[in-house]
């Protein structure tokens, strides 16, 4: 299955919906889209991975790269994923400690906004 990447604005966050397989062949497409969004000033991303069928280390590298880019702009990157086979990839590599992973887009948006408010008041 090919990779599909779409984005929309929701409650001040940019929700990036990804579906298909993120692997050594398709990951560059995701990297380009994330770079474009960050370059266009979208620094608070919620990446919805509920439609992702497969994720390899190249795809993980793209997500880590995206996280670094948004952080350099004081932004954030939250993930939405409940699929066990995708979560397994984050667990094996220890990246569950690096990415906030949520069950739903609504939860991710709320967590992202709450973290932003905490930063603003601290």
Residues that bind another protein (CB under 8 A): 21, 23-25, 54, 56-58, 60-61, 64, 84-85, 88-89, 92-95
> At closest approach, how far in Å is the CB of 28 from another protein?
9
> At closest approach, how far in Å is the CB of 97 from another protein?
13
> At closest approach, how far in Å is the CB of 86 from another protein?
10
Give me the residues paired with residue 48 across strands: 17, 80
- Beta carbons of 16 and 46 less than 8 angstroms apart: yes
Rounded-to-integer distance, Cα 96 and Cα 28, Å = 22
CA 111 to chain centre: 13
Rounded-to-integer distance, Cα 7 and Cα 13, Å = 10
Q: Which is nearer to another protein, 12 or 61 (CB)?
A: 61
Give me the residues paired with residue 54 across strands: 21
> At closest approach, how far in Å is the CB of 88 from another protein?
6
CA 94 to chain centre: 16
Q: Which is nearer to another protein, 35 or 58 (CB)?
A: 58
DSSP character at residue 74: T
Q: Which is nearer to another protein, 64 or 115 (CB)?
A: 64
């Amino acid at each position: 299955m090919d990779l599909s990447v779409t984005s929309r604005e929701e409650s001040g966050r940019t929700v990036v919906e990804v579906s298909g397989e993120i692997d050594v062949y398709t990951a560059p497409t995701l990297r380009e889209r994330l770079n474009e969004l960050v370059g266009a000033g979208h620094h608070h991303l919620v990446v919805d991975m509920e439609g992702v069928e497969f994720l390899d280390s190249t795809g993980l590298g793209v997500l880590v790269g995206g996280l670094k880019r948004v952080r350099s702009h004081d932004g954030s990157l939250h993930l939405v994923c409940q699929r066990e086979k995708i979560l397994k990839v984050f667990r094996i590599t220890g990246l569950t400690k690096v990415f906030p992973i949520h069950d739903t887009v609504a939860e991710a948006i709320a967590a992202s906004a709450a973290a932003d408010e905490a930063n603003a008041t601290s």
